[in-house]
Structure 1
Amino acid sequence: MSEPDAPASDTIASDARAALHRGPRGLSWRVLAFDSTGHGKDAVVVLLHGWPLNRSIWSRVAPRIAAAGLRVLTPDLPGFGGSPPIDFGRATVEAYAEEVAKFIEPFNARRVAVGGHSFAGYVALALAERRPDAVAGLGLIASRAAADSETARRGRHDTIEKVRVAGTKALLPGLPEKLVGARAAIEWRPQASLMIERARPDGVMAGLAAMAARPDRTAVFNSFGGPRLVIHGTEDGLIPVSEAAQIGPSPPDVRVILDGTGHMPMWEAPEATADAVTSWANSLRR
């Protein structure tokens, strides 16, 4: 595995092992599988995938962002893709956020913009609240700052039990149809189904538990002092566009609502998504 601060020319993939990695200056952290695309340390973009997906969802947007002179890091969150899981008993968005903070630190970036998709938006919010030194830009992509309703919490716990019994196939059919809007259904719903089926049940259950327990962080987003990003689709079948965070249109904040797009803007509208992320992250370089 390459050292985390090794330069990236195009895309470098790093697979993870279930162990702590010790790097320069004695820093230790849980190893997360990740891809690194592009160059630069002045402003690094960290894009976090949603539940129950993995880092490959960013493959269509990372090169376009990197072409603007930014380095893009796309890790697998613990328990997803190639990253070792968090214990179910300590599965909170705060625990995921701490793992992301440990992942970011060894890259020695001057300024880091963290964008989270769906579930990972909750992780990014927790990271901004608990480790403000680690987050210069905060982005929510098909996500929201509010907590779950009681009905939603019960639904997540019910799903945990279904996955415990039947594995991730318990999420099929149903979830892929909610993830991908109708316009992109033929191209991307089969990909979503395959990704869900291959997900680790322990990671899926831990993510559900973390989402159910998270607090409202609307105030965290509203008071964040750096550039903020909101990307949301009008046809999102999991988080209605009406629940997208509200920010003004003035730079350096960026808010993009994508017509006809569902819960996966990085698949369904990759160019518009990449351009919005680039505009947001570039403000950290000025």
Structure 2
Amino acid sequence: MSVSLDESIHLHWQGEGQALLLLHGWGMNGRVFDPFARLLAERGFRVGTVDLPGFGLSAPLEGGLSLEGLGDALLPHLPQGCVLAGWSLGGMVATQLALASPQRVSHLVTLASSPCFRARDGWPGIKPRVLEGFAQALNQDLTGTLERFVALQAMGSASARSDTKAIRALLTEAPEPDPQALAQGLEILRDADQRPALAGVRQPWLRIYGRLDALVPSDSLAPMARLTPESREAVLPKAAHAPFISHPQETADLIQSFLGSAAPA
């Protein structure tokens, strides 16, 4: 196992093989991937887990959190020909890196992610009032707000209680997120819209969803497929927003099969 020497970004690698970097979602940190990363490493990948700036052990970005800033901060840490697998907000960051640095990113995998999380005209997503509610609650009860958001990750899954317990246990292995990074990350979820840029993704792309996801509704899958006709889609019928927690073997199978059959860009 190796750890990043850059003190501003906490990143560690395990295993041998094709480099695959896992990017976590809002309010989380890299430890949420611990069991899944070990599973992928056992399957022959060199797996990296990173704390996004302002989360876990990584320092906040001096200029504030943005998709462009996140991409710029992570780019120096990407091995040549790296596979990116981003969960939720991490999927937006992975997409940003794939668009900005096609020579460094060989394949793109997004897990329960969306290029536009907020519901808009003709686009299913999270209702604006829900996002505003989280933003207001952050100022009053940061810890409680994170607890409620963790519960949303598993809501709908048959294993929701055990999934929520697993996520909470993993997150406690690292410090709470920086409050400003949390607020700015929520602004990204509220405001960012990558849909116009998706035609520029040239890498083989696998999109994995949970049919029971409360944050990325299944109604958004058809319009997403129309936007990205060259990408591949896989839906786990009994998973919610954290398929790598509730269905790790199936999720790993999908990634391994995709990387074995998709030629790099």
Q: CA deviation at 1:235?
A: 0.8
Give distance in 2, aligned partners of 1:71 and 1:247: 33
Query: Which residue number in structure 1 is paired with residue 66 of structure 2?
Result: 92
Output one character per residue of 1:32-82: Cα deviation in whole Å (capped at 9) or x when no partner.
212312113xx3111101111111222222233223332111111111111
Query: Which residue number in structure 2 is paired with residue 133 of structure 1?
Result: 103
Map 1:1-286 → 2, pairs under 5 A: 12=1, 14=3, 21=6, 31-40=8-17, 43-87=18-62, 90-104=64-78, 107=79, 109=80, 111-146=81-116, 148-149=118-119, 152=127, 155-172=130-147, 174-180=148-154, 181-193=156-168, 195=171, 199-200=176-177, 201-215=179-193, 217-244=194-221, 245-246=224-225, 254-282=232-260, 283-284=262-263
Give the root-mean-square deviation of aligned CA atoms: 3.0
**Amino acid paired to 1:144:** S
* Contact 2:65/2:181 (<8 A) preserved: no
Aligned length: 252
What secondary structure is seen at the aligned counterpart in 2 of 1:80? coil
Structure 2 vs 1, CA of residues 48 and 130 (structure 1 numbering), >3 Å: closer, same or farther?
same
TM-score, scaled to structure 1: 0.76
What secondary structure is seen at the aligned counterpart in 2 of 1:246? helix
Query: Which residue number in structure 2 is paired with residue 5 of structure 1?
Result: none
Taking only the aligned residue pairs, the percentage that are identical comes to 23
Q: CA deviation at 1:86?
A: 2.1
Q: Structure 1 stretches of 5 or more lacking a match?
A: 1-11, 22-29
Q: CA deviation at 1:285?
A: 7.4
Give distance in 2, aligned partners of 1:280 and 1:247: 20
TM-score, scaled to structure 2: 0.82
Output one character per residue of 1:188-208: Cα deviation in whole Å (capped at 9) or x when no partner.
212434538952223322211
Q: Structure 2 stretches of 5 or more lacking a match?
A: 121-125
What secondary structure is seen at the aligned counterpart in 2 of 1:137? strand
What secondary structure is seen at the aligned counterpart in 2 of 1:53? coil
